[in-house]
Chains A and B, each alone.
Chain A
Amino acid sequence: MRFELMYESFFKILKGVPLTLEVVFISTLLGFGLAIIVALMRISDNKLYSVPAYSFIYLIRGTPLLLQLYFVYYGISQFSFVRESFLWPILREPFWCGIITLTISTGAYSAEIIRGGIQSVSQGYIESGKALGLGRVSLFFRIVMPITIRQALPAYGNELILMVKASSLISIVTLMEITGIARTIISKTYAPVEIFLVAGSIYLFINFIITRLVKYAENRLSIPST
Chain B
Amino acid sequence: MLEAISFGDAGWGDEMLMGAFWTVAVSISSILLGLVIGIIFAGFKLSSIRVLNLIAEFYTTIIRGVPELLVIYLLFFGGGSAVMYVAKIFGYFGYIELQPFVIGTLAVGAISGAYSTEVIRGAVNAIPRSQFETGSALGLKGFRLYQKIIFPQVARLALPGIGNVWQITLKDTALISVTGLVEIMRQSRIASGSTHEPFIFYTIAIILYLIITRVSNVAFDKAEIRYSRGFVKRKIS
Residues of chain A whose beta carbon lies under 8 Å from any beta carbon of chain B:
58-59, 61-67, 70-71, 74-76, 78-79, 161, 164-169, 171-172, 179, 182-183, 186-187, 190, 192-193, 196, 199-200, 203-204, 207-208
Contact = CB atoms under 8 A, between A and B. Distances in A.
B209 A64 contact: yes
Interface of B: 61-62, 64-71, 73-74, 76-78, 167, 171-175, 177-178, 184-185, 188-189, 192, 196-199, 202-203, 205-206, 209-210, 213-214
Given A66-B177, A190-B77, A78 B69 contact: no
Contacts of B184: 67
Nearest to A73: B198
A70 B77 CA distance: 24
Contacts of B202: 67, 70-71, 74-75
Contact of B62 (A59, A74, A200): A200
Contact of B66 (A165, A183, A187): A165
A182 B74 CA distance: 10
A179 B77 contact: no
A63 B67 CA distance: 18
A192 B73 contact: yes
Given A74-B198, A193-B78, A63 B70 contact: no
A58 B67 CA distance: 23
A74 B70 CA distance: 23
B200 to A, nearest CB: 8
Identify whether the interface residues of A are mostly helix, strand, loop, or mixed: helix
B210 A168 contact: no
Nearest to A203: B66
Contact of A192 (B69, B78, B197, B210): B78
Given A74-B192, A78-B197, A179 B70 contact: yes
Contacts of A65: 171, 174
A72 to B, nearest CB: 9
Contacts of B171: 63-65
Given A66-B185, A203-B65, 19 more contacts: A62-B214, A63-B205, A63-B210, A67-B205, A67-B206, A70-B198, A74-B198, A75-B203, A78-B197, A164-B67, A165-B65, A168-B69, A168-B70, A169-B175, A179-B73, A187-B77, A192-B77, A193-B74, A207-B65
Contacts of A167: 67
